[in-house]
Structure 1
Amino acid sequence: MDLDNIKEQLMSRIDQDDLLEVNKVERMIGFMNDLQKCDEKIEAEGISQITENGSQRFNKSHPLLNEKIKINGQLIALEKTINFISEGTAATDNDVEVSESDLI
């Protein structure tokens, strides 16, 4: 996952003068980076782990799987709050929306 390209694409879809929206995109990229690190660690260590408790020995899922679920939920919630600029429209200096058909 190329986070630089994703950030660039997200930034192109928001009002970059709105610092709150820029912060949301940066947090979103941070969450995606965390997910990527979780994936790498799970891939290296395996999806399940052997746990030993005294004489007992059993398999359990990797603890980062639960963290991935939490991070994914945060990503979805954050994405819903981002005010994306509609595709096919552009903002002018006066914040007047202009559609592509207006430009022809």
Structure 2
Amino acid sequence: MNGMLEQLKEQLMARIDTDDLLEVDKVNRYIKLRELDLACSEAIDKDGATIVIENGSQRFIKAHPSMNEKSKLNSQMIALEKSINFTNGSLVPASPASSVEGKQGDYEPGDLV
């Protein structure tokens, strides 16, 4: 594990109850997902964002397979971040309320005619 991931793990572990094995497992899974994400980034940096597929006399250019994997890993990491029970605040801020009902704005009821 590189230094940046070790520091990230230490920071995350400091924000959870380390006696809760489920939360510790979530942090470990998050770090593993980050390792896989970095490996995908290295492969993309090495090979480029596109690759050439040759099938007999045909040549196709397509997106690097790691691009799709990075997208999946990102979704998994976001979901895992939301599920971790941080003791001193959430890593991911809560989304603002989307409902307009009951809120007073800078308008008068007559403006809605």
- In the superposition, the TM-score normalised over structure 1's length comes to 0.79
User: Which of 58, 61, 72 is matched with 1:59 structurally?
Assistant: 61
- Name the one with the larger strand percent: 1
Unaligned runs of 5+ in 2: 90-113
Rg larger for: 2
Unaligned runs of 5+ in 1: 88-104
Counterparts of 1:1-104 in structure 2 under 5 Å?
A: 2-87=4-89
Q: CA RMSD in A?
A: 1.2
1:9 is paired with a residue whose SS is: helix
Would you identify which runs of 4 or more consecutive aligned residues in structure 1 move more than 4 Å? none
- Give the number of aligned pairs: 87
Whole-angstrom CA distance in 1 between matches of 2:35 and 2:65: 18
Give the drift of 1:58: 2.0
1:52 is paired with a residue whose SS is: strand
